[in-house]
Amino acid sequence: MKRFFIQLMPWAILLACLVAVEYFWGWTTVLAAWQSLSGQTAVTLLCLMLASYALRAVRLYDFFRQAVTGRYGLCLRLMLYHNILNNLLPFRSGELSFPLLMKRYFGVNYLVSTPGLLLFRLFDLHVILTLGLIAVFTGVMDAGPSLIIGAIAGLIPFAVFSFRQPLNTWVVGQTSEASKFRVVVAALPESGWVFLRCWWWSWANWSVKLYALAWLIGEFAGVSLGAALGGAVMGELSSVLPINAPGNAGTYEAGIAVGLLPHGVSAERVVVAAVNTHLFVLLASAVGALLAWVLPFSKQTTWAEHDNE
């Protein structure tokens, strides 16, 4: 019975969010905000989102290059499918599609693809947090010191990479709880160039995506790009929570609200910006999945094992 309620909870949250928006503001009122956005702006924002997905596929292609060489289109298809499943399924269960699709499309072993996905997620979290720090400190100090703080935070992964061998030695023989850190250490590639390129592509794809989201939030909430970036960052951070409703309903909007409220945005504008931005994210992932379905990518290549450079 307890398991049944746990499975039911995400759908209850989704239904509650839909009802709450209609009861307090009305879906017609919330969606009417799109009329203030020009068609050119909407198309540009959608293209930026799709470009961020393409850059994410480049990261996958570069990191698993030995397995996927000559198959960038298939990498893009995998990433687009993985993206929409991640956005729609509750409890982060969409993440499971990545190793499954890597096995199906390229024959990559789960023990190889899963650490790679973990590294991608660590880089994603690092980039979002770093940009969030820059957004926060820009609001309380000059841009120069804020950028210095951001630069220092941005280089933290290289410090971790430099100490990967001592870290690996340390986790060996530790208690079961401490030894779980070994999974993180094992995700680090042996080659510094592979690590650097993964870091670069992570920054590239998230910079494009968060810029697009901040632009959209700024249009709906009537705030500066810097203030809107805080909302975009908090919204994306909320999506990594272990418990969320289908489509991240509720948590994504709450994250954007947390980022906007300190800037004195009215509750109505916060709701309009949060709900419509979330709908835009879901729409962009759906368009991406449609492209993955209709574009003529080649089927599969055979490859059993892969070790990073």
Best CA proximity match to 284, nearest among 21, 48, 13, 17: 48
Task: Give the C-alpha separation, 293 to 167, whole Å.
Answer: 42
* Residue pair 269/221 in contact by the 8 Å Cβ criterion: yes
Q: How confident is the model at residue 157 (pLDDT cuts 50, 70, 90)?
A: confident
Task: Give the C-alpha separation, 281 to 87, whole Å.
Answer: 8
Compute the average pLDDT of residues 266-283. Answer: 93
Task: Quick: pLDDT tens for 172-202.
Answer: 656 655 555 666 666 677 788 888 999 999 9
Q: pTM (2 decimals)?
A: 0.85
User: Mean pLDDT highest for which of 9-23, 127-141, 233-247, 283-297?
Assistant: 283-297
Task: Give the C-alpha separation, 234 to 91, whole Å.
Answer: 18
* Residue in this structure with the two tokens 């592509």, named with its chain if needed: 201
User: Mean pLDDT highest for which of 46-60, 121-135, 147-161, 172-186?
Assistant: 46-60
